Chains A and B, each alone.
Chain A
Amino acid sequence: MQTDKTILQSYINNFQFLERGLKKQSNDPIHDLRKTAFNHLLEKGFPTKREEEWRFTDISPIIQESFILAEENNIKEFKQSDIIQLMFKDWAGPLLVFINGNYAEHLSDINTAQAGLTIDTMLSLLKKDQKSLLDTFTEFKTYNENVFSALNTAFIKDGSIIKLEKNVIADKPIHLLYISTKQEKPQLINPRNLIYLSDNSQAVIIESHVNLTDGQYFNNPVTEIRIAENARCNHIRIQDESSEAFHIGSIFVDQKQNSHYFSTSLMFGGKIARNNIYTNLDGEGIETILNGLYMGHDDQLIDNHTFINHAKPHCESHELYQGILTDNAKGVFSGKIMVRPDAQKTDAKQSNNCLLLSNEARINSKPQLEIYADDVRCTHGATVGQLNQDAIFYLRSRGITWQRAKNILTYAFAEQVVEGIGIDSVRDYVNDIILSRLKEDMNFIK
């Protein structure tokens, strides 16, 4: 696990650069958190393939690159018309736009008329009310979980902070839009989101990580979601980074009694892309749904890691991941379900299905059930395969071309996840990506 000194040196330089920029603010309490996290990173180093959780995902191309920290250079130059294709159609809800990790106020709209819903940015809150922010952070302690969240914490700069007071139902979905653009030197971007749903509150949050111009960069976002008693969170996450980009996302979810978390994770882009979801079911009567779709082509590597911690009795988790891989793409799925001794009457169901559309495409699929309670129902299933040849022939025998027949079956496979996206404009956006991968247009699904 020791990482080469020369590799870490570029991070040390970046950290020193950050500290110089902070000037007086380097005495702020938040900076202690950064320093702790950074020391943690230096101490642990980056993971290697010898570590179980990284066995199939070789990240050496990421750590061998030296990145620079994104600066607040030219955000103002971007007009809404430049980014319109990355927005959802006719969006009426709150929108937070970040370009290369920096908040673009002129493109955003966070003036919500709704009482009990607060939307802010990390940067502004750090200036206004660092203490309340830190209280939330220290409860999370997420930098212990993996070094990439430590990396994120070490370079905390900006991100989205959303808070719902008790009994508040967000009347419109909230869009967090992270856009990357090509820069002279590859950049490291560390968005940090905090989402806090108090008792009985509800929100739909869409987080998208997309690119405007192709190019190399490393996006390393962390999203923390706390869902209090009886609260409900629908979290849709779209990852469509540049084909040269690296993306490692971490989502930490903490759920209390009778709460509901519904995650839809859509992974399309990136040269190496990984998403980690950790959910902690800390209360009874909790429901957790983790759905995912990943589509890899060319020589992409797409990795989905999920961890569901059943800590208390009478909780349910359902997980459905669908993968579509073609060309030389590689997929990794690791789904860990932990059922602690206390968690009697747990109902956990997991399935991961992967379509391999070329001879070269590969998937490593690893379900891991660790069950320490006796009265539980846990099932998992994984399928890997090609399209059904009988079905293709059936479609062709009705005059449908071979290519379209394959697309019809592939789309039907993807749709099992996509149909769960309850917002038309978001579903259209996702369908657009899928259809362009299939070289079809919207007429295909009309």
Chain B
Amino acid sequence: MLEIKNLHAAIEGNEILKGINLKINAGEIHAIMGPNGSGKSTLANVLAGREEYEITGGSVRFKDNDLLELNPEDRAREGLFLAFQYPVEIPGVSNSYFLKTAYNEKRKYQGMEEIDAADFLMLMKEKMKLIEMDQALMNRPVNEGFSGGEKKRNEIFQMAVLEPKLAILDETDSGLDIDALKIVANGVNKLRSKDNAYIVVTHYQRLLAYIIPDFVHVLYKGKIVKSGGKELALDLEKKGYDWLK
């Protein structure tokens, strides 16, 4: 599904990613952990196509594509999804309008007809139930005035509607209380299948009790310094990151 080889990326001349290697197959869940500032969000944003980052080396293949050659919208249409660490507020654009537009763009890309209003409403209802999303949030402008938790839930809700092949959840757990965390994790677990894959970025192991990863990687100063199974997350929780230096 995704193969990252020796990826280097810089912002404003500072190299942040210093040779990332990672292979993800369909059906897998990978956790990426690491202290603040280690480059987790940078990796997520580079994969999503954020143009401020300069790719200084390496390659990324996503399905049959050279990912780095695709613009952000085509990456999304090919099935990549980033749940942002800091979702953006968009005044004046309603959540439901935004999602319907996004959904139809994907359908068009796949050569399908646009969905009509009634069918879209049904789809919304179904997905809202899954994430226990408040109906009132749908008619409000995207993320505007949402609480931290509501924003994160909205990200997962969008993911549920768009059904990506590869979803990157960037610190989705931060800002969520334990009940919300369980709901979100439960949603992810229902959505997972043998055809899709997840990268779960977090620096606490808390979330990983609910979304059980197949692999855990430690990102430190722009490099993956250790990889292992789900027990690695528990080790990190106990010992912190210092022992990896």
Contacts and interface: CB of A to CB of B under 8 A. Distances in A.
A396 B75 CA distance: 9
A206 to B, nearest CB: 24
Interface stretch (B11-19, B55-63, B90-98, B183-191): B90-98
Contact of B102 (A398, A402, A409): A398
Interface in B46-64: 48-51
Given A393-B72, A394-B84, A400 B90 contact: no
B88 A398 contact: no
Contact of A397 (B49, B90, B142): B49
B50 A412 contact: no
A4 to B, nearest CB: 48
A402 B49 CA distance: 12
B90 A394 contact: yes
Nearest to A445: B97
Contact of A400 (B49, B87, B105, B117): B105
Contacts of B72: 393, 396-397
Nearest to B80: A397
Contacts of A349: none
B158 interface: yes
Contact of A391 (B49, B88, B158): B88
B101 interface: yes
Given A397-B48, A397-B49, A399-B106, A391 B90 contact: yes
Interface residues of A, number: 22
B87 A404 contact: no
A408 B71 CA distance: 18
A398 B93 contact: no
Contacts of B89: 391
B76 A408 contact: no
A152 B150 CA distance: 58
B87 A394 contact: yes
A399 B92 contact: no
B73 A401 contact: yes
B162 A398 contact: yes
A395 B92 contact: no
Contacts of A390: 88
B146 interface: no
A109 interface: no
B102 A412 contact: no
A398 B48 CA distance: 10
A22 to B, nearest CB: 53
Nearest to B99: A398
Nearest to B161: A398
B94 to A, nearest CB: 9
A242 B106 CA distance: 39
B93 A412 contact: yes
Contact of B93 (A393, A396, A401, A408): A408
A412 B101 contact: no
Contact of A409 (B48, B49, B90): B90
B76 A396 contact: yes
Given A394-B88, A398-B76, A409 B93 contact: yes
A386 interface: no
Contacts of A400: 73, 101-102, 105
Given A393-B50, A393-B72, A398 B92 contact: no
A399 B105 contact: yes
A101 B76 CA distance: 54
Contacts of B81: 397
A399 B77 contact: yes
Given A396-B71, A399-B106, A416 B50 contact: no
A415 interface: yes
A211 B26 CA distance: 59
A413 interface: yes
Contacts of A412: 90-93
Given A404-B101, A408-B93, A408-B101, A399 B76 contact: yes
B158 A398 contact: yes
Contacts of B77: 399
Interface of A: 388, 390-391, 393-402, 404-405, 408-409, 412-413, 415-416, 446
Interface of B: 48-51, 71-73, 75-77, 81-82, 84, 87-93, 98-99, 101-102, 105-106, 109, 117, 142, 158, 162
23 contacts: A388-B90, A393-B51, A393-B72, A393-B88, A394-B87, A395-B90, A395-B98, A396-B72, A396-B76, A397-B81, A397-B82, A398-B98, A398-B158, A399-B102, A399-B105, A399-B106, A399-B109, A400-B73, A400-B101, A401-B73, A401-B105, A404-B101, A412-B92
Given A399-B162, A413-B92, 14 more contacts: A388-B90, A391-B89, A393-B72, A394-B88, A397-B76, A397-B84, A398-B76, A398-B98, A399-B106, A401-B73, A402-B71, A402-B73, A405-B73, A408-B101
**Which A-B residue pairs are the 10 nearest by beta carbons?**
A412-B92, A399-B76, A398-B102, A396-B72, A394-B88, A399-B105, A399-B77, A396-B73, A390-B88, A399-B106
